Amino acid sequence: MRVLRAKSAGFCWGVERAIDIAREYAKAGRHPVYTDGPLIHNRQMMEVLTREGVREVGDYQSKAEVSVPEAGDRAVMVVRAHGISPERRAYLKSLGMEFRDATCPDVGIIAGKIRLHAKRGFATVIFGDPAHPEVIGLLGYTEGRGHAVRTRADIDALPPLGEQVCMVSQSTMFTDEFEGLAAHLRKTYPEARVFDTICGATKDRQGDIHELRRQGAEAVVVIGGRHSANTVKLAKLVELTGMHCFHVETAAELDLAALARYRTVGVTAGASTPAFLIDEVVARLGTLP
């Protein structure tokens, strides 16, 4: 079997940056290091971080009250890469410990665009999952005039938005879907300001799926958490391109009997998937004839 590993597989720079920030505090003896919700959407990596002294508190959507039994001068609260709303930021800062923002700078740019336009009276339309923590955080910058949409029907169901409208995207969405929805929005709001805020790492990851197909991949193993939005989208894209998709979290989940039918298999991974998990999958596939 020929195994092709996508160049973009694994941590994006925003996730790696958040992990490095939390680890630096832990290595410096600043305990406990708390994160507001899971630092990344990968169970195996969170287990590694827990052993290193990083503790997850709060909840996935950064909505629940946080229980921090060991707050104080040595404790640190780290905001994950997805970012949070201004209200959540104020709440976390009130907990009596050092506050460190590890929001991905790309997400910070989206928040900045929203905040700037909201202050100018714009309504905001966000292409994204309304239950995803990134979107929940971004909606907090819209000054109460924000709406998350995923389909044309969602756009058609929007209340009147007024003359000033801007549109952005959750950073991990499909570019072609965003462009299609933006065009649909402009049928009603032709002067809408549209900002393509899908991050470069996401575009690279999606582009590499097509590159794997060009190189002859018949099937692709997508590695990552089943609750990771960008990983699920990669799996969907593999299927849309006509290749067989095997979505796994670890090498132990590989269906080797099924994979052995293919001569060339691609491997990619979500933005929260650590390199050691990718290495294990590649090594296991390498044992197939």
- Please say whether the beta carbons of 106 and 134 come within 8 A: no
- Residue 110: enclosing H or E segment and its boundaries? helix 105-119
Query: Cα–Cα distance between 147 and 94 in angstroms, integer?
Result: 28
Tell me the C-alpha distance between 170 and 181, whole Å: 13
Per the CB < 8 A criterion, the answer to whether 170 and 128 are in contact is yes
CA–CA separation, 23 and 54 (whole Å): 8
| Contacts (Cβ under 8 Å, ≥6 apart) of 167 | 124, 125, 126, 127, 181, 182, 185, 192, 193, 194, 195
Our answer to whether residue 16 is catalytic in this structure is: no
Distance between CA atoms of residues 184 and 5, nearest Å: 36
Among 104, 103, 130, 96, smallest CA distance to 36 is for 103
Q: Which of 52, 98, 134, 253 is catalytic?
A: 134
Task: Give strand pairing partners of 267.
Answer: 5, 221
144: left (phi over 0), alpha (psi -120 to 50) or beta: left
Active site residues: 134
